[in-house]
Amino acid sequence: MKERHYIKDPVKPPFHSYQPPCSIPRLSKISKDQAMRIFHSNKWSERNVRNCHITDLREIFVDLLESSSLPKDFNQILFTNVVIDHADLTELAIKYKLHFQNCFFLQGLHFNHSSFPLVTISGYICGNLSLNKLNGNPIIVLQNLQVDQVYLEGGECIENFGISTTTIGRLTIANTKISGQVNLHDNVNILDGIWFDNLIVKRGILLWRCKVESYFRIYNVKCQGNIELLVCDLVSPLNTKSSSCIILSLNESKCYSRLNFKGLQFDKLDVGNTTVIGQLLFRLRQLKEKPDNKFDISPCLTITKSNTLGDDISIEEQLIVLHENFKKIPTATRQEEYCAYQLRETIERQNRKGISNKINHFVFKWCFGYLLIPKRIVLTMIGIILVFAFSYYLLSWLNLGCLNFSTGGSIFKDGKLIGLGRSLYFSVVTFSTLGYGDIYPIGTLKLLATLESFSGLVIVSIFAVSVARKLFRW
């Protein structure tokens, strides 16, 4: 009876299906017996299955692993320029090195619950490359490959995982231990995103000349080496959570979005020659210098305009802000940098759809500008005076209180329009705490006048501080 095998631990469907870089060649089909004769060749140079179409790769591997007549020097399985319909190698204990050169996998490639010493893959994979719960401390190398999704999850221990000159839809490495290094280099394009979750990496994580879009997550990663993002285009926002490394390096990278390193512990930071368009976020305790540890912060950074987060602040300014030096050095510049930083944080939190979020966005944006722009404080004064003047007029018209002259009579005795002007006059006098006494409130307007007087006292004080800071910068 023919063996029926089902893939364990199926992965989620891809976000997108990417077309192969070239047309899939039409090749003649090869049977498993023909493939076995190739592997039994006495010359190692002839043990290469090439230029053919394989219907079921698993059948060939099962017969190969059960064979007892292979040459003594047989140590690798090589496929070159092969089109493969089904490539399910789940639950196979493969003791040979695997090489797939320029191969086309039409329905994915699966190594779930398998073991092998080494696999190198180039070509095109339609669907998923799943490497779940691997055994045997394997080495995985992907080069010149295009694949929708790569899943490496739940392995006992992986020696090394490397990718070069490859386009991947989504890369997920989770719940495993890597005794060597995660190395992505030489034009690796991650179109949907990267997710590193619950990893232990001994030698470090390196991304060199890579481009990451959509999302980038580093969650629960314990890296005993360095996390290096060198000469990368970081288009996607990056978030970290409960992770650690020795050195965090962004040398010569371009950051187009928000990179949040608040959830990452590190001993040294290197952001030399980094171009920042979005934000780099850190916590204060991450940036406190130790006697034997200095941060490598280049003074020459390229800062450009952000079209989503407002005016940009350089990395040095953000680090100074997070050091809270504005509390120790009494300069207007440090205080303004802190307020601008808080403003950017608030805008990011409120940058969602919905009327309530838009209102909160506007309120926070206006309030966080008090210590920055005297003109905004003046506009706020005018707005408060007008609001209270109209409130006096409205409450008087509703008979909930009134404004009377000290000589007797209501301010509205000469008409409503004149009364509105007198309400505005009373609002100005009350807000400025002058208190001439020629007009006084009665009823509920007493409480309203008290509130306006207190508001005027606070805002005028803020205005005086703001103007003084602008005039007398240190």
What pLDDT was estimated at residue 325?
38
* Two structure tokens written together for 393: 């007029």
Separation between Cα atoms, residue 221 and residue 241, nearest integer Å:
8
Q: Is the pLDDT confidence value at 8 over 60?
A: no
Mind listing the pLDDT tens digit for each residue in 116-154? 999 999 999 988 999 999 988 999 999 999 999 999 998
**Mean pLDDT lowest for which of 234-243, 289-298, 373-382?**
289-298
How many domains, in total, are found in the chain? 2
User: If you average pLDDT over residues 278-287, what whole number do you get?
Assistant: 69
- DSSP codes of every residue in 377-435: HHHHHHHHHHHHHHHHHHHHHTTSEEEEETTSSBTTTT-HHHHHHHHHHHHHHHHTT--
**Mean pLDDT lowest for which of 92-96, 100-104, 272-276, 375-379?**
272-276
Phi, psi at residue 157, to the nearest 5°? -165, 130
**Mean pLDDT lowest for which of 245-254, 364-373, 435-444?**
364-373
Helix (H) / strand (E) element for 455: namely helix 445-471
What pLDDT was estimated at residue 297?
38
The single residue listed with the structure tokens 């498993």 is 32
Percent of the chain having pLDDT more than 70? 76
Separation between Cα atoms, residue 139 and residue 121, nearest integer Å:
11
What one-letter code names the amino acid at 329?
Answer: I
DSSP state of 323: T
Separation between Cα atoms, residue 156 and residue 298, nearest integer Å:
40
Asked whether residue 115 falls in the same domain as residue 196, the answer is yes
Instruction: Write the burial class of residue 430 (CB in 10 Å: 0-12 exposed, 13-18 middle, 19+ buried).
Output: buried
Helix (H) / strand (E) element for 343: namely helix 332-349
Residue 2 domain flag: no
* Nearest residue to 159 (alpha-carbon basis) of 202, 97, 206: 202
- 178: confidence class by pLDDT, cuts 50, 70, 90: very high
Task: Give the CATH number, domain containing residue 410.
Answer: 1.10.287.70
Asked whether residue 279 falls in the same domain as residue 410, the answer is no
User: If you average pLDDT over residues 279-288, what whole number do you get?
Assistant: 67
What pLDDT was estimated at residue 127?
87
* Nearest residue to 197 (alpha-carbon basis) of 181, 219, 215: 219
Asked whether residue 51 falls in the same domain as residue 150, the answer is yes
Residue 336 domain flag: no
Separation between Cα atoms, residue 418 and residue 387, nearest integer Å:
17
Mind listing the pLDDT tens digit for each residue in 65-76? 999 889 988 999
**Mean pLDDT lowest for which of 29-38, 366-375, 458-467?**
366-375
The range of the structural domain enclosing residue 467 comes to 374-471
Residue 367 domain flag: no
Asked whether residue 213 falls in the same domain as residue 283, the answer is yes
User: If you average pLDDT over residues 247-261, what whole number do you get?
Assistant: 86
Contact assessment for residue 219 and residue 241, using Cβ atoms and an 8 Å cutoff: yes
Asked whether residue 143 falls in the same domain as residue 238, the answer is yes
Strand, coil or helix: what is 348?
A: helix
